[in-house]
Structure 1
Amino acid sequence: MAEGTINVVAKFVAKPGNEAALKTALTALVAPTQKDPGYIAYDLYESTARPGEFVLVEAWASRQLLAEHLDTPHLNGFKAKAPELLAEPMSVKLFSELPGF
């Protein structure tokens, strides 16, 4: 069976005092990511209850194209800055779409 779209939910929590810096770093990923092969969606949200907590909801044409995205200069640059910005390790979960929905 051919693999379909792969969906990603990634959660980020800023260290106290780094909320704005994390928001800036995450929003800077959107434009270059939209040019990556296999990009379908890349939507960034901030918690209404907990400022500084962000979720990226992504959709990619395949797991391989997602893997290629994860090794781009813009993602590698973010990963290098992440330890100084994040209060906890980022949480990344992959999901596949259920047929018929």
Structure 2
Amino acid sequence: MAEIAVVAISVAKPGHEELLREALEGIVGPTRKEAGVLQYDLHRDVQEPRRFVFVERWESQDALAAHAKSAHIQAYKKAAADWIEHAEIRVVSKIA
């Protein structure tokens, strides 16, 4: 099966940046232990510090789907829902 690459962006509501950062940092460790994860790195936009960006690589679509259903991701979504102004998940393909 083909490797899956994902860019996931979350923009914090003004005043909620640190709450969101802490919540996002909290899912990194458990996610990196999941079956099928190849890369799961959290970044913060230098020019727009309310914007957080995950760069992810997964062995398969099934691994990504299992991640989305995992207990820690579901708990994060519930906890962080009021702190997020905008969220976007993009599946991308490597060109070069």
Aligned mates of 2:85, 2:38 — CA distance in 1 = 29
Q: Does 1:95 align with 2:86?
A: no
How does 1:47-66 map onto structure 2 within 5 Å?
47-66=45-64
Q: Identify the residue that residue 36 of structure 1 maps to in structure 2.
A: 34
Aligned mates of 1:47, 1:35 — CA distance in 2 = 25
Of Structure 1 and Structure 2, the greater helix share is in 2
- TM-score of the superposition, structure 2-length normalised? 0.94
Cα deviation per residue 1:21-69 (whole Å; 9 max; x = unaligned)?
0000001111000110101000111011111210000000000110001
Larger radius of gyration: 1
Which amino acid is the alignment partner of residue 97 of structure 1?
A: K
Aligned mates of 2:10, 2:17 — CA distance in 1 = 10
- Unaligned stretches of 5+ residues in structure 2: none
Other structure's SS at 1:70 match: helix
Q: Shift of residue 87 of structure 1?
A: 1.1
Cα deviation per residue 1:74-93 (whole Å; 9 max; x = unaligned)?
100111123211012x1001
Q: How many pairs does the alignment contain?
A: 96
- Unaligned stretches of 5+ residues in structure 1: none
Runs of 4+ residues deviating >2 angstroms? none
Q: Shift of residue 71 of structure 1?
A: 0.5
